[in-house]
């Protein structure tokens, strides 16, 4: 519900009915954060099969070409969700799931007339502070939202907003609109006009699509307003407090990586006797963009209003409906921490090393001394070393534009980019011999051994890597770290 680009429109060709599907049993949890079986490929395999089987496009149009287009969009949505499930984009970690699903259940039970069946909830592992309506009876809530939200009421607002999109059938309307427009005489005519032209066909073609997207964004704004209004009704029926200021806060999420660190970057390593040379953090002047850039480390509400002007309007439109003296229920810190760890692991597994390490350092700033975070720093260093040997270090760093990050984030990004390979190897070795390993369970220590093997085998021979990965999968069957090992088997 990140207001400017509510995902239901971004994913456009998808959405509508979803047959209510039985929830999967909780799988046994290993000693880690969650089990490998909690990932969607396993946890939602039955739901995926059901939707592929029962999700049949209804015949709405007599006009053959329109019906054909509609079916194309319909099927693309099914493929989209099935692929996301197969790619393990969703996770059914029991504690997190139970917490969010309780909010969803409370909204559903108090709004029986509008919500006849309990919607299927998916927890998306994305770090984006967002949720989205998939249509019909499915909604997805990102782990990033659970990390960012301060209260149960805030999460409830986002869920209620997404439920409202489903109740108002916005996703389905989007599909129908597209099917109708792209098979309309008006569209065909404008396309023909473009093709008749000798010159500048491309820019004329772009205008045809632009006209459509402007029209859509106008619709989109109405949809957002309607979803907000209905969301407030759903909340009131459930006795969940509403404060319009949530819109402003939820919309200032671009600043996630603008939060500065408490200490100079080198201090985080110096505590392990690892020295960072100043030259690794100083960006070697390549290109103009690195110079004369003023970082601002804080994001105020004012900034957020500037970047998302819609947000002010939506706040103004709903301010009167705010509950006076609202009491907020904080999101329990174990839930937030779990969501954050799920994000950190996912960022690591997707090789977004800077974002991953930055989140870990922010946890250290909060005073966390949990060995798991040191374990993850080790994994990032090993991962970076591995990427360097594969000659794709740059990709693994995951460069973020300066507008979205703090000076410290930029320094970290530069460090990961410029630190010489020999030093990186030395950092890895030091981290392998630190004391914290004793506090970690067997599967984490198994991952350490696997990474050591990956980084000592000949980069041209996959055989040893594959054997080590298969061995890990067999020995630590069910461990969440199997996800990493499975890339190499």
Question: Residues interacting with Zn ion, by CB under 5 A?
Answer: 6, 224, 227
Name the β-bridge partners of 141: 123, 131
Torsional class of 119: left (φ above 0), alpha (ψ -120 to 50), beta (otherwise): beta
Residue 413: count of CB within 10 angstroms of its CB: 24
User: What is the full DSSP assignment across 229-287?
Assistant: HHHHHHHHHHT----THHHHHHTTGGGGBTSPPSS-HHHHHHTTT-PPPHHHHSPP--S
CB-based closest residue to Zn ion: 6
Q: Which is nearer to Zn ion, 6 or 355 (CB)?
A: 6
Q: Is 113 exposed, middle or buried (0-12, 13-18, 19+ CB in 10 A)?
A: exposed
Contact at 8 Å (CB) between 159 and 146? no
Residue 358 C-alpha from the chain's centroid: 16
How far apart CA 312 and CA 105 sit, in angstroms, is: 30
Is residue 424 a contact partner of residue 385, using CB atoms and an 8 Å limit?
yes
Minimum distance of Zn ion from residue 139's CB (angstroms): 11
Min. distance of Cβ 347 from Zn ion in angstroms?
A: 25
User: Of 158 and 377, which CB lies nearer to Zn ion in the complex structure?
Assistant: 158
Nearest distance in Å: CB 35, Zn ion: 33
Extended beta strands in 285-386, E state: none
Compute the radius of gyration of the chain from its Cα atoms: 25
Closest separation between CB of residue 101 and Zn ion, Å?
21
**Of 6 and 450, which CB lies nearer to Zn ion in the complex structure?**
6
Nearest residue (CB) to Zn ion, 124 versus 224: 224
Residue 16 CB, shortest distance to Zn ion, in Å, is 16
Q: Please provide residue 39's backbone torsions phi and psi, each rounded to the nearest 5 degrees.
A: -75, 150
Closest CB 171 distance from Zn ion, rounded Å: 10
Contact assessment for residue 190 and residue 169, using Cβ atoms and an 8 Å cutoff: no
Query: Between 216 and 407, whose beta carbon lies closer to Zn ion?
Result: 216
Place of tokens 């205008």: 207
Where would I find the beta strands (DSSP E) of 130-181?
A: 131-135, 138-142
By beta-carbon proximity to Zn ion, the closer residue of 159 and 411 is 159
**Gap between the Cα atoms of 187 and 202, Å rounded:** 16
CB of 363 to Zn ion, least distance (A): 31
Which CB sits closer to Zn ion, 6 or 299? 6
Q: How far is the CB of 404 from Zn ion (least distance, A)?
A: 22
Are 14 and 81 in contact by the 8 Å Cβ rule? The answer is yes
């Amino acid at each position: 519900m990140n207001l400017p680009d509510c995902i239901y429109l971004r994913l456009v060709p998808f959405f509508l009915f979803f047959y209510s599907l039985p929830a999967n049993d909780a799988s046994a949890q290993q000693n880690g954060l969650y089990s490998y079986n909690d990932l969607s490929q396993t946890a939602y395999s039955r739901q995926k099969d059901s939707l592929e089987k029962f999700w049949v496009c209804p015949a709405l149009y007599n006009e053959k070409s329109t019906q054909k287009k509609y079916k194309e969009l319909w099927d693309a949505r099914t493929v989209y969700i099935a692929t996301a499930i197969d790619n393990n984009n969703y996770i059914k970690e029991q504690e997190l799931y139970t917490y969010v699903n309780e909010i969803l259940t409370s909204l559903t039970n108090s709004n029986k007339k509008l919500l006849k069946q309990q919607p299927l909830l998916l927890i998306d592992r994305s770090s984006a502070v967002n949720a989205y309506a998939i249509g019909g009876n499915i909604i997805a809530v990102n782990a990033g939202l659970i990390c960012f939200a301060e209260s149960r009421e805030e999460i409830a607002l986002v869920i209620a907003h997404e439920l409202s999109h489903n109740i108002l059938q916005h996703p389905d309307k989007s599909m129908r609109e597209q099917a109708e427009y792209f098979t309309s005489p008006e569209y065909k005519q404008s396309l023909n006009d473009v093709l008749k032209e000798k010159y500048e066909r491309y820019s004329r073609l772009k205008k045809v699509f632009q006209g459509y997207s402007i029209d859509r964004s106008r619709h989109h704004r109405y949809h957002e307003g309607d979803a907000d209004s209905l969301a407030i009704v759903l909340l009131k029926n459930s006795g969940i407090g509403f404060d319009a200021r949530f819109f402003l806060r939820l919309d200032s999420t671009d600043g996630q990586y603008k939060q500065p660190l408490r200490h100079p970057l080198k201090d985080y390593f110096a505590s392990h006797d690892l020295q960072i040379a100043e030259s690794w953090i100083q960006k070697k002047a390549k290109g103009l963009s690195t110079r004369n850039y003023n970082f601002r480390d804080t994001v105020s509400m004012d900034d957020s209003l500037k970047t998302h002007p819609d947000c002010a309007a939506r706040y103004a439109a709903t301010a009167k409906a705010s509950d006076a003296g609202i009491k907020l229920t904080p999101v329990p810190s174990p839930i937030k921490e779990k969501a954050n760890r799920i994000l950190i692991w996912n960022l690591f597994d997707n090789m977004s090393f800077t974002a991953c390490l930055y989140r870990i350092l922010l946890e250290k700033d909060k005073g966390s001394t949990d060995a798991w975070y040191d374990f993850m720093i080790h994994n990032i260093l090993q991962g970076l070393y591995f990427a360097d040997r594969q000659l794709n270090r740059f990709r693994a760093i995951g460069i973020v534009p300066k507008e979205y990050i703090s000076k410290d984030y930029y320094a970290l990004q530069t460090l990961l980019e410029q630190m010489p390979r020999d030093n990186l190897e030395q950092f890895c070795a030091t981290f392998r011999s630190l004391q914290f390993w004793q506090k970690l369970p067997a599967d984490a220590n198994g991952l350490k051994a696997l990474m050591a093997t990956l980084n000592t085998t000949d980069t041209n021979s996959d055989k040893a890597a594959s054997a080590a990965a298969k061995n890990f999968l067999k020995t630590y069957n069910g461990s969440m770290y199997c996800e990493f090992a499975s890339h190499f088997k």
